[in-house]
Amino acid sequence: MVVLTALVVVSLTVGAEVGTPGATSPAGKWTFVSFPDFFNFDVPNPQPKWDDAVDWFLSQVEAENPDFVLIAGDLVNGHWWDGPAQIENLGNAYYGGWVRRMRDHGLRFFTAIGDHELGDDPWPPEKTALKPHLEQAYATNTNMPANGPPGFEGLAYYVAHKNLLLVTVETFETHDGEVRMTVSGDQLAWTEWVLRNHPGAEFVIVQGHVPILPGCASRSSSRLMLEDGRESALWRVMAECGVDAYFAGEHHAITASEADGVWQVVHGASWGRVPTVNYLLGTVEPGRMTFELKRIPLELEGGSIWNINKERGPREIVRVSDETKRRGFERVGRLVIEGPRGAKRVAERTGCFAE
């Protein structure tokens, strides 16, 4: 267990609720939707040969009537390496277009920072030096809550909404001039502080870009993972504090696994590169939380969309066929968690949650 110093606790208790939708409280049935890695590339808005498919997908998400949507990283491609001016200009352009798509569908969003927001892996010294500028472009354009630990404002944060606590972490920290996939030090202490100081939350989800437990299916991915996996301090803290689920992306495929009472749900897709996309529907009510993973095929054609500093971008044509629209999404897994915090039980699991 992480030991919190008095200094850390004092620095975090002041204004800890700023930027959150509301205090944790009992609630009736409500929903959220999660789809990491949306898009994983720099996609202009508009993008005529994509727009019908993207709008149809977001319309299906909108029809779930979510209070908010979660996107665990890789909103853009982010190969913006020529300096701070380029980072600011392209960040404004591509994040701006991404945000407009969400707003056009009335979707409130909470995102995590991915490797593509930080220029994509690997991180030689010249790219690592630009990390603060890349983080600033992300934070400025996504405008996430600024209630995280010092140095992580807009990058790590929490949201207390009805009977759910959401904690978002940055899984890319700089240690001695190197970018490593860790959650440690002040960020780890803050995470534990938040988890332990919201005992009224019936359900708890942590969101980060890279998976922690091994064994993830991968498509068109660098297969990044958090250092030390299940033995990492972050996983131990989540298990000790009664976290129900950890949502991650990066691998562009679906894998659900459980350890120490925590469900890791890796999902999302690389738009224009992989042939299926998915989303997770979460339904929350007193004493019960349900996850349903839904998937559709895409039709990908043509050459590639230009993305700066990348040889092969996503395909130039992305379509959802009329037949797919008629059939709708296929449910590929369902998980039902019931009971009070700290004494949860799985009431039902099917499909990818039972594999």
Residue with structure tokens 């990390």? 131
Strand, helix or coil at 355? coil
Report pLDDT for 27.
55
Q: Please check whether residue 22 is in contact with residue 161, taking contact to mean a CB–CB distance below 8 angstroms.
A: yes
Q: What are phi and psi of 226, to 5 degrees?
A: -70, 140
CA-CA distances (angstroms) from residue 100 to 97, 108, 312? 5, 11, 25
Contact present, 82 and 176 (Cβ < 8 Å) = no
> How far is it, in rounded angstroms, from Cα 288 to Cα 296?
27
DSSP letter at 163?
A: T
Please state, in angstroms and as integers, the Cα–Cα distance from residue 155 to each residue in 173, 308, 321, 331, 332, following that order: 11, 24, 37, 32, 31
Question: What is the C-alpha to C-alpha distance for residues 262 and 254, in angstroms, rounded to an integer?
Answer: 17
Q: What is the pLDDT of residue 16?
A: 37
Strand partners, 179: 174
On whether the CB atoms of residues 183 and 175 are closer than 8 A, the answer is no
Q: Over its length of 355 residues, how does the chain's per-residue pLDDT go in tens digits?
A: 444 433 333 233 323 343 343 344 445 999 999 999 999 999 999 999 999 999 999 999 999 999 999 999 999 999 999 999 999 999 999 999 999 999 999 999 999 999 999 999 999 999 999 999 999 999 999 999 999 999 999 999 999 999 999 999 999 999 999 999 999 999 999 999 999 999 999 999 999 999 999 999 999 999 999 999 999 999 999 999 999 999 999 999 999 999 999 999 999 999 999 999 999 999 999 999 999 999 999 999 999 999 999 999 999 999 999 999 999 999 999 999 999 988 899 999 999 999 9
| pLDDT at res. 17 | 42
For the chain, the distance separating the N- and C-terminal CA atoms, rounded to the nearest angstrom, is 31
φ/ψ region of 30 (left if φ > 0, alpha if ψ in -120 to 50, else beta) reads beta
Instruction: Determine contact, residues 319/47, Cβ cutoff 8 Å.
Output: no
Residue 72, classed as helix, strand or coil, is strand
Query: What residue ranges do the domains of the chain occupy?
Result: 24-351
pLDDT attached to residue 341: 86
User: CB 68: neighbour CB atoms within 10 A?
Assistant: 18
Architecture of domain 24-351: 4-Layer Sandwich (3.60)
171 and 182 Cβ atoms separated by less than 8 Å? yes
> Partners of 160 in the beta sheet?
165
E strands present in the chain: 30-34, 69-72, 109-112, 157-161, 164-168, 173-175, 178-180, 203-207, 245-248, 255-259, 262-266, 276-285, 288-297, 299-304, 315-319, 330-338, 345-351
CA distance 252 to 250: 6
DSSP 117: G
**pTM, entire model:** 0.94
Gap between the Cα atoms of 62 and 64, Å rounded: 5
Helix segments in 169-280, DSSP class H: 185-196, 233-240
